[in-house]
Structure 1
Amino acid sequence: MTTAPLTVLVVGATGSIGRLVAAEAVAQGHTTRALVRDTGTARRLLPAEVQLAVGDITQPDTLREAVADVDAIVLTHGSMSSPETVDYGGVRNVLAALDGQKPRIVLMTAIGVTARSSAYNHLLEWKRRSERLVRAGGLPYTIVRPGWFDMNDPDEQRPVFLQGDTRRSGGPADGAVSRRRIAQVLVAAVATPEAARRTFELVAEQGSAPSDMTQLFAALDEDAPGALDAVRDEDNMPPEREPQPVRDDLAALVTRAGS
């Protein structure tokens, strides 16, 4: 698949997935921008072609320059210790900073994000809430829920897209996939129309990767228009029982999307 080069912002660009996303976006010919807090660290980790925009996803006032005039935003950030502030708050702040712009949003969360009896419940709940923000925002989006990073066997390179989030062991038995393959899928979603309004789990199985993932995206069911959760997700986290600040954030996004 050949597409015109886009301007792509990578959030979480110095993380283990984000730096691969930035490199893949450059390799695909996109103008690539990275949101970073420390330019010195970023310059050591990222390709020279990547533009650096200084900002912090937990500080909304620092994000406007980073998001200006982008065609797509790939969000790979995360925090085990502060998921409310980083995983959720970061998405909320980036969406608010767009101020009327309508880029494609590609969000990485995690397989098992809809589980309600996991040892990682606190983290997963905030990741699921971040997904809901993206769906409520009215922008074209793709949400990718990868399996366990780099725990696949060497011959397991074929990406498999799943829906329904039914694998909930909380361990590698749910599925694994390489960081590099995750990055390739995230960047492919940016420029593939068939990826729009899709949410899926990503694992790898025995075989090689295709050169074009269009058919993999096209085979997925779209999320229902106006739905907060993904198609086939279990209805086990009622929005009306969510904390009031979360409900307020969703209401604000819905209002902006309709204006």
Structure 2
Amino acid sequence: MKAFVAGATGETGRRIVKELVQRGISVSALVRDREKAAQVLPPGVNLVVGDVLQPDSLRAAMGDSTVLISATGAAPSFDPTGPYKVDYEGTKNLVDAAKANGLEHFIMVSSLCTSQLFHPLNLFWLILVWKKRAEEYLQNSGLTYTIVRPGGLKNEDNSDAIVMAKADSLFDGSIPRTKVAQVCVESLFQPAARNKIVEIIAKPDATAQPFEALFANVA
């Protein structure tokens, strides 16, 4: 298995890369700034300079990768086209390149509540609308996929148990980014994770379950 990670230098992406490296999986990270990436990513990661908004470069950047994890997301800004360009067009470009390269599995980090048009996050240039459109594009691509919809993201890890549910079941809650990374990487190994949308939060009063059970319990 060779993993290609988009959004690798983001707060969630760098944790995904770390989790992959800890499991001994070869990683190529798509980065825009090689020097910055070298400072935040583990040694031994293949740094590939590129941009999800430049589709012509993506197939070559993926090389011989066999799986892809996308943790891209529009950075907060005053550009109203940001979420459209990054969350939708960028993901669309990744999906097209992954399909052309014959990748085996595409993992997409999305968000809770993408189906809720009147969610407050859509005040920020329709960010959830474009994430939902990107999800649908991936689902219709013919690629094997897992869409991971986390709740509010926390930088600090904790001992709370992961709660996993089917699409449009969870509407609030939070989860450490480290646990999101674990779910993304684990989904590569769990047959029950394939072609599913999973929503995840972490709760202190939840009963911890193995990943095999968590994925299997999602219809």
Relative to the length of structure 2, the TM-score reads: 0.89
- TM superposition shift of 1:209: 5.3
Shift of 1:164: 3.6
Q: Find 1:125's aligned residue among 105, 123, 129.
A: 129
Per-residue deviation, residues 58-108 of structure 1 (Å, max 9, x unmatched): 111121222222111000010144111001111111122232513200001
Report the Cα offset of residue 191 of structure 1.
2.0
Q: Determine the structure 1 residue equivalent to 2:140.
A: 136
Q: Tell me what 1:215 maps to.
A: 213
Count of equivalent residues: 209
Distance 1:153 1:208, change over 3 A: farther
1:178 aligned to which of 176, 179, 187: 176
User: Which whole-Å CA distance do the structure 2 matches of 1:129 and 1:22 have between them?
Assistant: 26
1: distance between equivalents of 2:164 and 2:9?
26
Shift of 1:215: 1.6
Matches within 5 A, 1:14-33: 14-33=9-28
CA distance in 2: counterparts of 1:153 and 1:19, whole angstroms: 14
Kindly indicate whether the alpha-carbon contact (under 8 Å) linking 2:3 and 2:69 is maintained by their aligned counterparts in 1. yes
Q: Is the 8 A contact 2:6 2:69 kept in 1?
A: yes
Q: Does 1:94 find its partner at 2:97?
A: no
In the alignment, what sits opposite 2:203?
Answer: 205
Gaps spanning 5+ residues in structure 1: where? 1-5, 169-173, 222-259
Specify every segment of 5 or more residues in structure 2 that has no aligned partner in the other structure, as ranges. Answer: none
Distance 2:158 2:101 in 1: 44
* Contact 1:91 1:130 survives alignment (8 Å): yes
Larger radius of gyration: 1
Preserved CA contact (<8 Å) 1:72 1:104: yes
Does the residue aligned with 1:94 lie in a helix, a strand or coil? helix
Q: Could you say if the C-alpha distance between residues 202 and 152 of structure 1 is closer, same or farther in structure 2, counting changes exceeding 3 Å?
A: farther
Alpha-carbon distance between aligned partners in 2 of 1:49 and 1:153, rounded to the nearest angstrom? 24
Distance 1:154 1:53 in 2: 32
Name the CA distance, whole Å, in 1 between partners of 2:191 and 2:203: 25
Give the aligned CA root-mean-square deviation in angstroms.
1.9
Percent of residue pairs bearing the same amino acid type: 34
1:159 equivalent in structure 2:
162
- Residue among 163, 188, 199 paired with 1:190: 188
Q: Which residue of 1 aligns with 2:117?
A: 116
Give the alignment's TM-score, normalised by structure 1: 0.76
- Superposed displacement of residue 153, structure 1: 9.0
Query: What amino acid is aligned across from residue 189 of structure 1 in structure 2?
Result: S
Residues 27-106 of structure 1: matches in 2 within 5 Å? 27-79=22-74, 80-81=76-77, 82-98=82-98, 99-106=100-107
Moved over 3 A (4+): 151-155, 207-210
